[in-house]
């Protein structure tokens, strides 16, 4: 059975010297973006502790706008805890394994 490593050299022709030069930069940028996104999920957890906080304007509105699509999908799978309606979607996303 053939594996990826048995492929012809032409199959790996997309790996150019230019691509190899920019990969560390792309890796850094993606890492910083994912770290910022994880921090936003932490902020959302803190925001749920203060229900009177103004989440419709300013900085919180941006945080909610960036994290809500992912949390909406998570809420469909992870139900709120018990009768209190505590949202656990934030914790499920924050505890997700990273590679």
- For residue 62, the enclosing domain spans 4-94
**24 part of a folded domain:** yes
**99 part of a folded domain:** no
Among the listed residues 47, 49, 77, the one whose alpha carbon sits nearest the alpha carbon of residue 63: 47
Which pLDDT score, from 0 to 100, does residue 73 have?
81
Query: What confidence category does residue 2 fall into, taking pLDDT thresholds of 50, 70 and 90?
Result: low
For the chain, the domain total comes to: 1
Which pLDDT score, from 0 to 100, does residue 56 have?
82
**40 part of a folded domain:** yes
Evaluate if pTM is beyond 0.75: no
**52 part of a folded domain:** yes
Give the model confidence (pLDDT) of 5-56 as tens digits.
Answer: 565 656 566 677 787 788 889 999 999 998 998 898 888 878 877 777 777 8
Q: Which residue has the higher pLDDT, 86 or 51?
A: 51
Q: Which residue has the higher pLDDT, 63 or 76?
A: 63
């Amino acid at each position: 059975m053939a594996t990826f490593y048995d492929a012809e050299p032409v199959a790996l022709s997309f790996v150019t010297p230019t691509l190899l030069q920019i990969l560390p930069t792309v890796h850094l940028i993606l890492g910083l973006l994912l770290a910022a996104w994880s921090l936003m999920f932490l902020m959302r957890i803190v925001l749920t502790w203060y229900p009177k906080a103004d989440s419709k304007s300013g900085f919180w509105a941006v945080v909610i706008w960036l994290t809500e699509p992912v949390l909406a999908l998570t809420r469909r799978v992870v139900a709120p805890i018990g009768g209190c309606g505590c949202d656990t979607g934030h914790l499920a996303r924050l505890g997700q394994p990273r590679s």
